[in-house]
Chains A and B, each alone.
Chain A
Amino acid sequence: MSSTEVGVPSTRIAAGGGSRFDLLRLAVYSDAALLVVAGGLVIFYAPADAVEGIVQKIFYLHVPAAIAAYLCFGAVLVGGLVYLWNESPAADRLARSGAEVGLVFTTVTLVMGSIWAKPIWGSYWVWWDARLVSTLVLWLIYAGYLLARRIAAPGRQAARFGAVIGVVGFIDVPIVHFSVTWWRTIHPPVETAAPSSLPPEMLLTFAVSTLAVLLLSGVLIGYRYRIETLRDSLAAALDR
């Protein structure tokens, strides 16, 4: 059976890699180069921290991953709101791509943070830090989001449920953050390392690695979005 027989226009199938100028592919190559540069800067250029030593270099991956995760979940929020407003399939594709990529970066953030916390705070996990708890809850909410999408009937139901979970979940995260901060103020105070102002070498390394990681998240969302587009058109073709 040829593709025209099941009603899939061949141009749409080719949309993934056929066009002559592919912005996404350009972004992949630039980001690969940028990641190498960032890695080199982190290892060879950025000085070791006076207090924390070499462990501090986790910061250059940990913080950009956290920023990327929040931007991804922002995409889930915006995609969800737009979907609830006008049922646009494109908005839903953006939301589900954002949730998957965001979950990956949240995992990176949590794991890197725990590895950093062990030598600095003395334990992998503490419950008095609002960022830790709210990031964990964030991870749980969007893991639930992906599970719900998988379990719900594909199409409108999955999109609608996803949008509701994405929006309500996004509201919950600052509430959790605030609750832990409030809870901590009534508990014995805990020593926290005050972030001192960064020397220029560290600042440059941080800027480059942030750019590299953000571009990586954009590239991953872009490819995920393309795959979802193809999957949608395949489902539409099989429906016909």
Chain B
Amino acid sequence: MLPALGQFVVLALLVANFAFDVENAGNRIAPGVLWLTITFAGLVAFGRTFASERDQASLEPLLLTPANRSAIFAGKAFAAAAILAAIEVILVPALGVFFDTPVLSLPLALALVLATIGMASLGCLFAALAAQTRARDLLLPVLALPLWIPFVIVGGRAVQVALGSGGEINGALALLLDFDILFVVVASLAAKFVLDD
């Protein structure tokens, strides 16, 4: 899956390069391109989170194992977060190369790590929900994107600051941490009801 997602990322940057006025806007649009690519690549990745369970009808056997439902969800959420992080590891250097942006900064890395945790827990919750329905490819973006909006608002600002638009970033990072705590707890509590039979 990772090579395909790497391709997806490069393709997204290619489209962005010709869709936006890169010559004149310079690297001002780089934060926006970064976030658009993260959200949509994330949706593609999370759509695959429960794909093998669905294709082989192995979700019910998985739930029949003595493992706690929360533990199963936590494992899936960690895997989803790892995939999203891997996307970012490909995306950020590629953005630096294609958009001529200095991307090597600790605040940028921190903002992305914090956003990844919360987005992965929510994304995994709705991936688990959508995977059990008929039109899962339709349902996942419709449910996950509105709930990712706080991360895009605050994380978007953090990335803008980290990529040089000026301003202070600590408040954004603290807020992202708060969102992470809230949504990790909420998603873990809700997972019990989604992974029920």
Contacts and interface: CB of A to CB of B under 8 A. Distances in A.
A94 to B, nearest CB: 18
Interface string B101-140: 0000000000000000000001001000110111100110
Interface string A5-41: 0000000000000000000000000000000000000
B193 A179 contact: no
Contacts of B132: 152, 157, 161
Nearest to B129: A161
Interface string B36-48: 0000000000000
A106 to B, nearest CB: 13
A236 interface: no
Contact of B133 (A84, A133, A144, A148): A148
B147 A147 contact: no
A152 B133 CA distance: 5
Contact of A171 (B129, B154, B182): B182
A169 B135 CA distance: 20
A180 B154 CA distance: 9
Contact of B194 (A140, A141, A164, A182): A164
A169 B146 contact: yes
Contacts of A178: 150
B179 A175 contact: yes
A152 B150 CA distance: 27
Contact of B139 (A148, A160, A182): A148
Interface in A143-201: 143-144, 147-148, 151-153, 157, 160-161, 163-165, 167-169, 171-172, 175-176, 178-180, 182-183, 186
B66 interface: no
Interface residues of A, number: 31
Nearest to A147: B142
Contacts of A143: 142
A134 to B, nearest CB: 9
Interface string B130-162: 101111001100110111011001100100000
A104 interface: no
Contacts, number: 86
Nearest to B175: A182
B54 to A, nearest CB: 14
A178 B175 CA distance: 10
Contact of A172 (B138, B147, B167): B147
Contacts of A211: none
Nearest to B148: A172
B196 interface: yes
A186 B147 CA distance: 22
Contacts of B122: 168
Given A84-B193, A157-B132, A167-B190, A175 B182 contact: yes
Contacts of B182: 171, 175
B171 interface: yes
A161 B171 contact: no
A132 interface: no
A164 B147 contact: no
B167 A186 contact: yes
Given A165-B143, A179-B153, A182-B154, 18 more contacts: A140-B142, A144-B146, A147-B138, A147-B142, A148-B130, A151-B135, A157-B132, A157-B133, A160-B194, A164-B125, A164-B194, A165-B129, A169-B147, A171-B182, A175-B179, A176-B149, A182-B175, A183-B154
Nearest 7 interchain pairs by C-beta: A179-B153, A140-B146, A144-B142, A179-B150, A151-B133, A175-B150, A164-B190
Interface of A: 84, 133, 137, 140-141, 143-144, 147-148, 151-153, 157, 160-161, 163-165, 167-169, 171-172, 175-176, 178-180, 182-183, 186
